[in-house]
Amino acid sequence: MFHVKQKDNMSKQDLLKHLRNIPDYPMTGVQFKDVTSWFMNPKDLREITDELYEFYKDKGITKVCGVESRGFIVGTALAYKLNAGFVPIRKPGKLPYEKVSVEYKKEYGTDRIEMHRDSITEDDVVLIHDDLLATGGTLRASYDIVKMFNPKKIYVNCIIELTNFHSKEKFPADAQVDSFIEMDEFDGID
């Protein structure tokens, strides 16, 4: 994990005050962390993007893979700042060219993600970005699909990691999985 630094009077506490919590979404008992409240606030969006850039700027990243759909938002801005290409990891039926895919288990069934077959080469250093790591199914599947391309290195990043799920344990020991903010699913609930 890396920590939010004080910059332009922003802090982790300020960001967390702006994070919207949606109880019982998408199902009863889930406390959904809605990061779109950060994306609507230019100061929050800039803070998150700048901090991620500072953390990854010296890692030689050539491609940023954004996980559908909230991973596209900061992922594209980060790719721009890192002077890297952007690769979308999509749900089935969204990509027009030849694809590779991975099926994975979710807490309520199975799902599938896809990438274009020519997205990544063995010379690439890849950063996979998503908004949230909770149960870990989608982000782990994203790691698996990128690994199929055999790039030089893979970094995995999310803005928020819900630590009560222990999802980093689902990744191989050599996978570097970092989060901007670590919190419990029920943090900030009154």
DSSP designation for 16: H
- The residue ranges of DSSP E strands in the chain, in sequence order, are 20-23, 31-34, 63-67, 85-89, 99-106, 109-116, 125-133, 153-162, 176-183
Q: Of the residues 20, 54, 103, 107, which is catalytic?
A: 107
The CA distance from 89 to 103, in Å, is: 13
- Residue type at 138? T
The CA distance from 134 to 43, in Å, is: 25
Dihedral sign for Cα atoms in the order 85, 89, 93, 98: positive
Q: Of the residues 70, 90, 140, 185, which is catalytic?
A: 70
Residue 89 makes CB contacts below 8 A (sequence gap 6+) with 65, 66, 67, 68, 71, 113, 114, 115, 128, 142, 145, 146
Selection from 113, 130, 127 nearest residue 167 by Cα: 130
User: What stretches of 134-183 show up as alpha helix (H) in DSSP?
Assistant: 137-147
140 tagged catalytic = no
107 tagged catalytic = yes
Residues with catalytic annotation? 70, 107
